[in-house]
Amino acid sequence: MTFLRTYSRAAFSLSKIAKKPLSSHQVILPKQQVFSVTNTTRNLRFYAARPKKLKERIEELIPERLEEIKYIKKEHGPKSMGSTTVDMVYGGMRGIKGLVWEGSVLDPEEGIKFRDLSIEECREKLPKVENGSEPLPEGLFWLLVTGEIPTKEQVSALSAEWAARSAIPSFVEELIDRCPNTLHPMSQFSIAVTALQHESSFAKEYQKGVDKKDYWHYVYEDAMDLISKLPNVVGRIYRNVYKDGKVPAIDAGKDYSYNLAKVLGFESNENFVELLRLYLTIHSDHEGGNVSAHTMKLVGSALSDPYLAFSAALNGLAGPLHGLANQEVVRWIIKMKDTIGESPNDETVREYVQNTLKQGKVIPGYGHAVLRKTDPRYTAQRDFALKHLPDYPLFKIVSQLYNIVPDVLSKQGKISNPWPNVDAHSGTLLQYYGLVEQNYYTVLFGVSRALGVLAQLIWDRALGFPIERPKSYSTKMIRKMFEEKK
């Protein structure tokens, strides 16, 4: 008896294909679909319906999403989502509700959820490599785009497609090679992505006058190409700045994280590859209001192609108050270790933390603009460390800080969230596996963030979202607005 897999409910009329009654052998498909096959038609070939490709699934979802938004605007369009205060305007727009972001929502108490799934649920439910323990970021990208958990076959197909699209033009290679080693890796990253705009399908089709309802097709192609090329881009930057300049070839039979590890020179360490799978998954998206995500959405709303929009997002990510924070955490912890020793007691760590605060400095990696509890991304990395590197001295210090810093900050009474965020842990894991070049850490963050922001950009164009244009006021106008009413 032959068993075939299928992921479609399409019915097959095998008797019509065979042109004669069928009997004898049976082909059993899921959903109890049973078809008979005659002994006399041995040359007849049967194909189970193949898993849907990502682009096909998006095309199916677009009409549903358009109808949903049409309904929401009709039923709730005039309703208020909240008020805006002067404090919000002067406070970095925190708390202002003004963006649609489908891939993730950040809850102050529960943390980030990717399409309603927590990080732990993603780690449990998303496909993994055989004998692997961490989710493949290809699966997370599928989830962010569709809201659905993909099959292993769909994820494998995505891995293969990204590998097939991974080559970068020779002029981009030469551009990266000509950058001085003293130029920050994030600057080189941004330059390379901007140069890749030469390959933009969307930019070329827009110049031809493509119908706006088809914009998303070309944004999708650009997004897939851009994600695919990132390992070669960032691998070349790493090899030029820190190694011998030689970049190994992408392995077409491996997943995205393995190939990223390979271009960096770490593919032989299976645990490091697993770390990258976790890292790329949990850093991918953090709703739409953070600097890199909002920059991507804003620039993309002007119909700048995905390359230009992502380059802008990378420039935002490179800021010390955003993605650059992870390297600052590692530097602070290493400086602490060098000052008070590799195995300090809790009281010594507490004194060091208090002295840092007395100097008017912050404790890097603690606090968050939205979260009011420990960042689940921190917890996921801590779980990984407890499993793979429990005795690593830097991790032990990180654990001590986890137990000490929130108490110290809470007693100060000046911070609404004294708990660790994702940056408090990520650099320590990379240090353990030998990726010690701290200036490079935000580059890895950028590769991961591409998954989230490009997933949203596809939908922005598919749903025809307009250019962003919020209203601004001068300080003089704000005073006039309120004081003339007295």
pLDDT digits (tens, 9 = 90+) for 426-470: 999 999 999 999 999 999 999 999 999 999 999 999 999 999 999
Coil, strand, or helix at residue 344?
coil
Contact in structure between 140 and 284 (CB atoms under 8 Å): yes
pLDDT for res 46: 36
3-state SS string over the chain?
A: CEECCCCCCCCCCHHHHHCCCCCCEEEEEHHHEEEEECCCCCCCCCCCCCCCCHHHHHHHHHHHHHHHHHHHHHHHCCCCCCCCCHHHHHCCCCCCCCCCCCCEEEECCCEEEECCEEHHHHHHHCCCCCCCCCCCHHHHHHHHHHCCCCCHHHHHHHHHHHHHCCCCCHHHHHHHHHCCCCCCHHHHHHHHHHHHHHHCHHHHHHHHCCCHHHHHHHHHHHHHHHHHHHHHHHHHHHHHHHCCCCCCCCCCCCCHHHHHHHHHCCCCCHHHHHHHHHHHHHCCCCCCCCHHHHHHHHHHHCCCCHHHHHHHHHHHHCCCCCCCHHHHHHHHHHHHHHHHCCCCCHHHHHHHHHHHHHCCCCCCCECCCCCCCCCHHHHHHHHHHHHHCCCCHHHHHHHHHHHHHHHHHHHHCCCCCCCECCHHHHHHHHHHCCCCCHHHHHHHHHHHHHHHHHHHHHHHHHCCCCCCCCCCCCHHHHHHHHHCCC
Which positions are annotated as active-site residues? 322, 368, 423
Cβ neighbours of residue 462 closer than 8 Å, sequence gap 6 or more = 58, 62, 65, 215, 216
Calculate mean pLDDT across residues 37-66: 69
Contact in structure between 368 and 417 (CB atoms under 8 Å): yes
> What pLDDT digit, counting tens, does each position of 281-338 carry?
999 999 999 999 999 999 999 999 999 999 999 999 999 888 888 888 999 999 999 9
- Is the pLDDT higher at 412 or at 205? 205
> What pLDDT digit, counting tens, does each position of 194-243 carry?
999 999 999 999 999 999 999 999 999 999 999 999 999 999 999 999 99
pLDDT for res 49: 54
Task: Give the percent of the chain with pLDDT over 90.
Answer: 78
pLDDT for res 190: 98
pLDDT for res 1: 35
Is pTM beyond 0.85? Reply is: yes
pLDDT at position 24 over 80:
no
Q: Starting at the earlier edge strand, list the strands of the sheet with 111-114.
A: 104-107, 111-114, 117-118
Give the least confident one: 16-20, 110-114, 308-312.
16-20
